[in-house]
Amino acid sequence: MTEIIRLLKFFRVYRRWIALSIALSVAAIAANIALIATSGWFITAMGLAGLAGVAMNYFTPAAMIRGFAIVRTGGRYAERLISHEATFRLLAVLRTWFYERIEPLAPAGLQAFRSGDLFTRIRNDIDRLELFFLRLFAPAAVALLVSLMVVMVLWLYDGRIALTQFGLFALAGVLLPAAVLRFGAAPSERITERTARLNMLVVDSVEGLAELHLYGQAQARAASLRALSDDIIADERRLARLSAISQAGVGLAANLAMFLALLLAVPAVALGHIAPPELTMLALMALVSFEAITPIPLAIQSLPGTLASARRLFAIADAPPPVRDPLEPVPVPQQGDLVFEGVCLTYPGAREAALTDIDLRLAPGRRIAVMGPSGAGKSSLVGLALRFWEPSRGRITYGGVALDRMPSDELRRRFSVVSQHDHLFTATIADNLRVANPGASDADLEDACRIAQIHEFIVAQPDGYRTYVGMNGLKLSGGQARRLAVARALLKDAPVLVLDEPTEGMDGETEQALLAAVMKARSDRAVLLITHRPVRLETMNEIVRIENGRVVR
Amino acid sequence: MSFLKAQKPFAARYLTLSVALSAANGLLIIAQAWLFAAIVAAVVVEKRDLSGVATWLAALPPLFLARAGLAWAAEYFAFQAAARVKSELRARLVSHVMKLGPVGLAGEATGRIVSAVTDAVQMIEPYFMRYLTAVPLVAILPLAILVAVLPHDWLSATVFAVTAPLIPLFMILIGAGAERMNQRQWRKLARMSGHLLDVIQGLTTLKIFNASRSEAARVAQMAEAYRRDTMTVLRLAFLSSLVLEFFATVSIAVVAVLTGFRLMWGDMVFFDGLFVLMLAPEFYMPLRNMGTAYHARMEAVGAAERVVEILDMPVPGSPSGTRKLDGGRGCAVRFDGVSLIFPDGRRALDGVSFDIAAGERVALVGPSGSGKSTIFNLLLGFVAPSAGLVAIDGVPFGELALDDWRRRIAYLPQRPHLFEATAAQNIAMRLDGADVDREAVRQAARQAQADDFITALPRGYDTPIGEHGAGLSGGEAQRLALARAFYRDASFVLLDEATAHLDADNESLIGRAVDQLSRGRTLLAIAHRLDTVRAADRIIVLDHGRVVETGSHQDLLARGGTYAQLWSHSREGRIEP
Ligand SMILES: Nc1ncnc2c1ncn2[C@@H]1O[C@H](COP(=O)(O)OP(=O)(O)OP(=O)(O)O)[C@@H](O)[C@H]1O
Ligand SMILES: [Mg+2]
């Protein structure tokens, strides 16, 4: 229920559009009912007039029939345009909204999620909300309005017909949907969950394709993907069966309405309470007015799945950011010492602290190498300095100001970072580089790439800097990808350069050349070099060794 | 389009059933109209009361029930038709993606594949469920109604007969441009999907470069572009619906008015007039349904194109043969004049020849892009050579049963993938949740120096592993993947920089474990750093896709060639910490 209210709130911006589309829809359906009912009345009256040999005013009804036909078609068209326009606008807005919600969570707050799952939320779950807006909310309003109108009109002629019609409306528009909801909720929700799982597994499989084949899991994985897909289809089948029942049910109710109208009106005609042309009119009106009810059971059926999607979106949108920006931020100093004072870090759920009592000072222009065994906590220092995580104890300052008093993206401007797992985007080399600096000129790119020892390689490619980097940069070897990441970091002009194992996967020659070139080209920068290989350390001012999360000197 | 048609056989039986049931339902509609007209005419013209029309009235409820039953079944079978195709198509997509392997898929954004497997297949549903069921009915029902109407009222029958063909005509006119737009919309959707997944995976990187906020603008722009294209397509669909509805509704109005006048002039009996009026909407109904479904068809065509694109991607690997190798532990590898040219013209290997004896330990050395990984991909069967021969124990690679061959390999790629599973499952590579041999897993983890940190994880070996090892340090993720290679009792060990991301202590411990692992087995290791290759029996030096030197460390140093040069570089500037 709360999800429904929240979804409706999103639509507030478009409430005028929606009101208009509801009004148009009511007009279109009412016009259709009127068209058929008037036609029935008209030919009956004309037939009787013909038999009696009297004249009648046929201009008005004939004009009305034509008028209704036009309102019907035009109204339908305009309504569709408006409602779809509003809905798709909203979906586009929602996608951006969702992106803006997950952005502050990364990386700490998103660690528990697989990218395939997040992707499903921003793609499929948001798409599914279309159903809520287009198929449920407006049609329900329309159904309510039209059925009230119809019952009122019928009431003018015969109370009993109006009441039976009301009952049948309630049956088809409330009871039937309620039954559908009861039986359809579980499969509908399952489809939402399983679609996410399917997407996630596809991503997982595509990225781990080599390992799947090698460990004889490719067949099994394909089979489980198929099974998952078939599970989804089985649930869709359950829903299809239900919707077939509800569609047939609404049709049956419409026919019954006509039948009961005849049953009640025929004696009334004999008694003279109802004029003969009105018999045709009432019976047809009873029948055709179910057009307004038809979409309801179907819409209700998709509701649980749609709400499940909404919940999946809100679950992330509502997650508190792992690191909060201060309410009254202090400007970030241009330059200054990066200081760790007695810093401890225990990752959530971890049994042991990753870092304990770290004291470290990186002054402008100084170079520190951080060494230590795998898992010692080296990269955790970077996460802390960038304020992706917050220390459990102790204080980190930049230029004398505590990190938690500064806006974190402003803070990150002071750092140029090659992280241990830099992502290369499926885009051209140049685009990947310009992530660091959108305004960089081609000459800038080349400079950076020369320093990173990758320029030669790039220009040897047929498309040079416009070479497409394949799926997650896979077409590049590990060492090439690493060098590209270094080049990218160099393009960002920041006083502190952080290199987390920048030369991993490179041969010794390249490693030497790269480190030498970087140190030379960025001789004025403070450097924090994380490495486990004692290369080029003579250019460092200080070597810090970390073991088991502690500094050992 | 032809692709969609080719899928029809999967659904044919259900489609026929569904259409037959709908046709029967349509015939009952004629009966219903007849009864209704008869009842009203009797009451209105002959002034009969309820008892006078009781028999006709009594016929109605069973008719309604029959119609409801038919409608239900028709709808259900229509779904079944689509379900068969969807299931089939997804299975084919998945198996083709598997067949393509990492080499065949490289360059395709993961998000695009995801959107083909889930969304595109889903979009094909309405084509089978709605369009293919609607089309035959257009030929059947209006004709049946025309036949029913003609004896009663030739004029209305003429109105029907004249307007009916106009409707498809207009639709085709409008639909002409729509197909192209649909395909464009699909390409946008695929692009958006690819981009969104990429952005999500690279969110941290974007944040590091303060680009994540500006990326929001890109996301907005893409979402907006997708909306615009969707709406362009929809506007056309709505326009064609408008035309349809216009013709149908106006025709009904015309029939009503014409009938009315003739009734007044006494040119027609009342029953006939009412009967025709009742059937007028039903006459146009199948046409209208087809009009709505026409949009579904176009969407499906766009979606199918995505599916075909993937199904048409060429499989670079060699198809599996049937020969199995004998049980022995080591195996001999032979490359004879092997060249590999990628479809885009890149020459990855150029006449590479070498022999590796069973039980030999060989290191591959060479600058980035010299062809080391390609040799691995050839040995793993992910790509077939353009020329030359690869043979294992004398058996040409193409004749090998791939599954059996791969089972003999322990492989550590440069960037190992950690699956959505627990640590233990990732090591044993039992992703389906089957039981794993705990002791063997721990043994492998110990050899890979991974036991300590795995035990320290929140739930030990049962801790779910995050994507790309989120929650682990770089070296820990590497060691976890290494444990996977140790877990396997392989006869051929392929290592691509086994000790990446590792410190000296771990490196030497793991080096020793690798020594043990490879004892009696054939080992081929890619080394980016030369310290790790000294122990190899032989070193093959590659450059630009060619073998430039082979020999032991000492031999190569003595020769003073490429290797010696590489070696001296790697020693420069090195100090002990
Ligand atoms: N995001 C995280 N969530 C939970 N635990 C983490 C996370 N990142 C790292 N850890 C744990 O914290 C410890 C220190 O990790 P860190 O990445 O800082 O090590 P490292 O020194 O960089 O190692 P390596 O040389 O292998 O990269 C490890 O035990 C690791 O398992
Ligand atoms: Mg690290």
What DSSP assignment string belongs to B5-35?
A: HHTHHHHHHHHHHHHHHHHHHHHHHHHHHHH
Is the pLDDT at A472 greater than 60? The verdict is: no
Q: B252-306 pLDDT, tens per residue?
A: 888 999 999 999 998 999 999 999 999 999 999 998 888 888 878 888 888 888 8
Choose one of A345, A379, A547 to mutate for the ligand 1 pocket test, by most ligand atoms within 8 angstroms of C-beta.
A379
In percent, the amount of chain A with pLDDT more than 70 equals 99
Cα dihedral B442→B447→B449→B451 (10° resolution): 10
Mean pLDDT of the region A2-25: 90
Burial class (CB in 10 A: 0-12, 13-18, 19+), A166: middle
Q: A415-431 pLDDT, tens per residue?
A: 999 998 889 888 899 99
- ipTM value, please give it: 0.91
Is the pLDDT at B327 greater than 90? The verdict is: no
pLDDT band at residue B573 under the 50/70/90 scheme: very low
* Facing residue for B105 by CB, picked from A66, A206, A504: A206
Q: Measuring CA to CA, which residue among B37, B193, B188, B29 is closest to residue B108?
A: B193
Lowest mean pLDDT among A57-71, A497-511, B166-180, B283-297: B166-180
Distance A389 CA to ligand 2 centre (A): 15
Candidates B46, B70, B210: best to mutate against A (most CBs of A within 10 A) is B210
Mean pLDDT of the region A295-311: 92
Residues facing residue A418 across a β-bridge: A499
Burial class (CB in 10 A: 0-12, 13-18, 19+), B361: buried
Supply the pLDDT for residue B577: 31
Q: Which domains does chain A have, with CATH numbers?
A: 2-197+234-317 (1.20.1560.10), 338-414+494-552 (3.40.50.300)
Length of chain B in residues, anyone?
577
Q: Relative to the CA of A420, which ligand 1 atom is closest? A: 27
The answer to whether B566 and B391 are in contact (CB under 8 A) is: no
Task: Give A-chain residues touching B207 at CB under 8 angstroms.
Answer: 103, 106-107, 386, 388, 409, 412
In percent, the amount of chain B with pLDDT more than 90 equals 47
Q: Does A552 touch chain B (CB under 8 A)?
A: no
Choose one of B453, B459, B476 to mutate for the ligand 1 pocket test, by most ligand atoms within 8 angstroms of C-beta.
B476
> CB distance A474–B113 less than 8 Å?
no
Q: B93-152 pLDDT, tens per residue?
A: 999 999 999 888 877 888 889 989 998 999 899 999 999 999 999 889 999 999 999 999
pLDDT band at residue A470 under the 50/70/90 scheme: low
Mean pLDDT of the region A299-321: 92
What is this structure's pTM?
0.91
Residue B265 C-alpha, separation from nearest chain A C-alpha, in angstroms = 6
> CB distance A43–B256 less than 8 Å?
yes
Supply the pLDDT for residue A298: 87
Is the pLDDT at B231 greater than 50? The verdict is: yes
Is the pLDDT at B519 greater than 90? The verdict is: no
Lowest mean pLDDT among A465-474, B332-341, B402-411: A465-474
What DSSP assignment string belongs to A86-154?
A: HHHHHHHHHHHHHHHHHGGGTTGGGTTS-HHHHHHIIIIIHHHHHIIIIIIIHHHHHHHHHHHHHHHHH
In percent, the amount of chain A with pLDDT more than 90 equals 76
Q: What is the mean pLDDT of chain B?
A: 88
* Facing residue for B249 by CB, picked from A69, A221, A269: A69
Is the pLDDT at A365 greater than 90? The verdict is: yes
pLDDT band at residue B569 under the 50/70/90 scheme: low
* Nearest CA, atom 12, ligand 1: A354
Lowest mean pLDDT among A115-129, A269-283, B8-22, B102-116: B102-116
Mean pLDDT of the region A116-140: 90
> Does any ligand 1 atom lie closer than 6 A to the CB of residue B475?
yes
The answer to whether A95 and A126 are in contact (CB under 8 A) is: yes
Report the Cα–Cα distance between both ends of chain A, in Å, rounded: 60
Is the pLDDT at B575 greater than 50? The verdict is: no
Is the pLDDT at B574 greater than 70? The verdict is: no
User: What is the spatial distance between Cα B391 and Cα B532, in angstroms, rounded to a whole number?
Assistant: 27
Tokens of A430: 């140049």
* Nearest CA, atom 14, ligand 1: A377
User: What is the spatial distance between Cα A506 and Cα A513, in angstroms, rounded to a whole number?
Assistant: 11
Ligand closest in space to the Cα of B507: 1
Lowest mean pLDDT among A279-293, A516-530, B164-178, B343-357: B164-178
Q: B181-194 pLDDT, tens per residue?
A: 888 888 888 888 88
Is the pLDDT at B553 greater than 90? The verdict is: no
Mean pLDDT of the region A206-219: 91
Is the pLDDT at A535 greater than 90? The verdict is: no
Distance from CA of residue B498 to its chain's centroid?
A: 33
Supply the pLDDT for residue B190: 83
Three-class DSSP category at B142? helix
User: Looking up tokens 């140049």, which residue turns up?
Assistant: A430
Ion ligand 2 — residues with CB under 5 Å? A 379, 420; B 473-474
Task: Give A-chain residues touching B36 at CB under 8 angstroms.
Answer: 258, 262, 283
pLDDT band at residue B502 under the 50/70/90 scheme: confident
Q: A156-169 pLDDT, tens per residue?
A: 999 999 999 999 99
Is the pLDDT at A136 greater than 90? The verdict is: no
Tokens of A171: 């049956």
Q: B421-479 pLDDT, tens per residue?
A: 999 999 999 887 778 889 999 999 998 889 999 999 989 999 999 888 888 998 899 89
Extended beta strands in A332-403, E state: 338-345, 355-362, 367-371, 393-398, 401-402
Q: Does B117 touch chain A (CB under 8 A)?
A: yes
Supply the pLDDT for residue A58: 87
Supply the pLDDT for residue B435: 82
Q: Please write down the HEC assignment for all residues of B202-245.
A: CHHHHHHCCCHHHHHHHHHHHHHHHHHHHHHHHHHHHHHHHHHH
Supply the pLDDT for residue A232: 96
Residues facing residue A151 across a β-bridge: none
> CB distance B40–A269 less than 8 Å?
no
Q: What is the mean pLDDT of chain A?
A: 92
Is the pLDDT at A135 greater than 80? The verdict is: yes
Ranked by mean pLDDT, which of A449-453, A549-553, B320-324, B359-363 comes out on top?
A449-453
Is the pLDDT at A32 greater than 60? The verdict is: yes
Query: Would the CA dihedral through B146, B149, B151, B156 be positive or negative?
Result: negative
Task: Give A-chain residues touching B413 at CB under 8 angstroms.
Answer: 210-211
Supply the pLDDT for residue B570: 63
Is the pLDDT at A19 greater than 60? The verdict is: yes
